[in-house]
Amino acid sequence: MHSPIPETSASAKQDLMRSLSRPFPPYFEKTGAHQKQYRIGLIGTGFIASGFSRMLQRHGRDLKLTSVLTRRARDEKNNFPFPEQLTHSIAEIIDNSDIIIECSGDVLHATDVIHQAMLAGKPVITMNSEFHVTTGSYFARMGMVTEAEGDQPGCLAALREEAEMMGFKPVVYGNMKGFLNHTPLPEEMSYWSSKQGISIEQTTSFTDGTKIQIEQAFVANAFGATITKQGLEGLPATDVDKTAIELAQKAAAAGSAISDYILAPGKAPGVFVVCTHVEEEAPALNYLKLGGGPYYVLMKNYHLCQYEILKTVRRVINGGGVLLNNSESPTISVVGIAKADLPVGTKITRAIGGFQVRGEAARIQDVPRHVPIGLIQNAVVTRPIHAGQIIEFDDLDLPETMALDIARALYS
């Protein structure tokens, strides 16, 4: 292990940033857009990856799943539907694929694999907000990497495009959450993990709010929006439209579009944008049941994860370009907040979806020494951390990884 302080020499930083300046032509300009079948390489074998592979098999007649990268032992029990496609070789998946789909949910692993894929000239589609908000800006400078529709950020991006094509100007990018518990107990999360059929880490990150903080930080960076406070507003809502417009009023006070969420128990886990339009259209929009303005709420009341990824695959094949990425110059990060006191020597195996740390979105300029939560993996506490404290680089001994090198260049 090396010093965790996010400092690097000026020459080393220049070398890292210079490597991003190479021109990178769109992949399908090189190969031609008329090939009959596209080979799909998949990273991950969990809930999302398994569902996507089944969709590909049933509905992707011009798409072929050729390789699936897994870190699990071959003899480990695995419910992945196409075990014959599994490989441990990154080189194999890159060589046998035209498009890489990354949905491992692991920041460090995704960073390493996506780097190799992009150096090989492969376009990458992700279902991994955690990756984007931690190291994604580095790759946004390298070439084609985009989040997919399916999770809330991709669905918000698609809704934003639709709104803008109709002349609307989004001022709020909103997410809808049904429940929140910052400090859930392991036995609770084990129960709900088993009941819902997803991992305990996913269940925990959804419950303690880390996931929605990551998603909305990502959305803010993607669309040049901001946040109104650390941890977001998260307004409680019984009337979704009314509460969404409250967020629009906060955006007006901030003088910028904002990214946030509402807490609406019992409501659909969808997304919304609050928009303005030119004043002359107010009578027509009122007639069309959007209200009298000046704010209009457009909503998608579902997100269907693996079922929607195919839409983004088609987008890339057809030359539609990036749906969203973390931008080359992010302004929002996600800090780690200790859930309990962490004495010196404590090992944090995993922060996202763990029981020691949760995440909050924050303006980078306000938290200059923070460790992005996606990096807090296999870290050892080097000075006492108190419950509720933002975790800083001086608090941890972090393993040397490519993700840590990128964070040093991006945030130091």
Give the model confidence (pLDDT) of 355-383 as tens digits: 999 999 999 999 999 999 999 999 999 99
294 upstream amide cis, omega within 30 of 0 = yes
Cα 16 to Cα 313: distance, rounded to the nearest angstrom: 30
The SS3 of residue 136 is: helix
Taking only the tens place, the pLDDT of each residue in 112-170 is 999 999 999 999 999 999 999 999 999 998 999 999 999 999 999 999 999 999 999 99
Decide if 116 contacts 90 (C-beta within 8 A): yes
pLDDT at residue number 11: 58
Which among 213, 293, 295 is positioned nearest to 259, based on CA atoms?
A: 213
Work out the mean pLDDT of the chain and round it to a whole number.
91
Provide the sign of the torsion angle of the four alpha carbons 27, 28, 29, 31, taken in this order: positive
Cα 412 to Cα 56: distance, rounded to the nearest angstrom: 41
Strands (E), 156-302: 169-177, 235-236, 258-263, 271-276, 296-300
Q: In what order do the strands lie in the sheet with 124-126?
A: 86-87, 63-69, 38-43, 99-102, 124-126, 145-147
Beta strand pairing call for 124-126 and 145-147: parallel
Which among 276, 273, 263 is positioned nearest to 174, based on CA atoms?
A: 273
Taking only the tens place, the pLDDT of each residue in 27-45 is 554 444 555 689 999 999 9
In DSSP terms, which residues pair with 94 in a beta bridge? none
> Residue 74 corresponds to which tokens in the numbers above?
């071959």
CB atoms within 10 A of CB 293: 15
The SS3 of residue 307 is: helix
Angle between helices 200-207 and 210-223 (to 10 degrees): 70
